[in-house]
Amino acid sequence: MQTKLGLKRQVIDNSYNFPLCLAPMVGLTHVAMRVWLKEFLPEGLKTIWPTEMLNSRKIPHEVLGQTPETYKAVNDVDLVPQILGNEDDPIQKTVEKLCEWGVAGIDINMGCPVKKALRHNYGVALMGDSDYAKKVVEVTVKHSQVPVSVKLRAGHQNDKDYLINFMKGLEQAGASWLTLHPRVAEAKRRGKADWSQIRWVRDQLQIPVLGNGDIQSFEDVLSMFEATNCDMVMAGRVLTAKPWIVSEFAAHLGFEVNQELLPKSAEEQGALLGKSLLRLLEIYKDYFDENLGVRRFKFHIKNAHPWLSFGHQLFAITSKAKTYDELELGLRLFFEKPQPMQKYTELRY
């Protein structure tokens, strides 16, 4: 796509015309969050959409569309589910099943830093062994009818040469694009993402590179393009709190956007977040039973609240809720007063 941002390398094909996407996040990027965020994307714009991480050891035994991680909406097209795995047979079965289900691409997780992933040698553990990581990509590509990508971190040792060689290996193995979250595994989600690494790898690879890490505002999306020359920006945590970054970026690209989705002041942002969270709660009711939905919604609030000046109060009120009604009451109580939002917050929890 050639936009005014000067993007040249196309993710999937040239019908994907919106170079901003949601990052996969366990417990957050399920059907309800996708339906919600799509309401901020003007019609006619197309990007890729994640699922939650899907374990390749479990998927072969599950019915897709009938587990909370794979619930799908009618307009849930352009899905690029993220899989976790390191063994041929489960990967083959998972990939074939996902392709049959109808996905636009498949992403492999090489960034998950949790202990379990390290113990089972998947997630970011794969970054310790280039040859093995290449094999995982080759196997996935071999059984996939759709493009395969990898989402990775800066690796273990923050060694740029290792990183570029590792990524070139994934490119040779058949990856169609790569997403870099430039934080070392040990940093988990703390510290600052080092965007210069995105530029460094983007300049040396042929395939598209998606940039990820620490986007907190619409201006940050533009800054990341500028600083890294990446082909698409992937934003995670901030979209739980500021879904309108999607509308702001669409407006910037010259698309017509509902003005109500472009809050100007900190107070207008808070008011729109209040309204949007109530809407999200309604969407949750359509998909999740109350027990699961309440737990998940609280997790959404846990991730969103740092951008509200008094977010700790919202977190405290909602964390006591046991039902959808109590959540709604808590939201109404908190947002009854003006609730300014902050442009930047400390990204740690």
Ligand X SMILES: Cc1cc2nc3c(=O)[nH]c(=O)nc-3n(C[C@H](O)[C@H](O)[C@H](O)COP(=O)(O)O)c2cc1C
Residues in contact with ligand X by CB under 6 A are 23-28, 53, 82, 109, 111-112, 151, 181, 189, 212-215, 235-238
Question: Is the CB of 23 or the CB of 139 nearer to ligand X?
Answer: 23
Nearer to ligand X among residue 27 and residue 174 (C-beta): 27
For 175, other C-beta atoms within 10 Å of its C-beta total 25
Of 25 and 198, CB closest to ligand X: 25
Q: Which residue has the tokens 């808590």?
A: 330
Full 3-state SS string of 44-108: CCCCCEEEEEEECCCHHHCCCCCCCCCCCCCCCCCEEEEEECCCHHHHHHHHHHHHHHCCCCEEE
Residue whose CB is less far from ligand X, 8 or 312: 312
- Residue 133 CB burial class (10 angstroms; 0-12, 13-18, ≥19): buried
CB of 43 to ligand X, least distance (A): 25
How far are the Cα atoms of 113, 210, 343 from residue 346, in angstroms, in the given order? 20, 23, 10
Q: In what order do the strands lie in the sheet with 148-155?
A: 20-22, 232-235, 209-212, 177-184, 148-155, 106-110, 79-84, 49-55
Output 10 or 240, the one with its CB closest to ligand X: 240
Q: Smallest distance from the beta carbon of 123 to ligand X, in angstroms?
A: 8
Among the listed residues 106, 127, 105, 131, the one whose alpha carbon sits nearest the alpha carbon of residue 117: 127
Q: Which residue's Cβ lies closest to ligand X?
A: 236
Cβ of residue 94: shortest distance to ligand X, in angstroms? Answer: 15
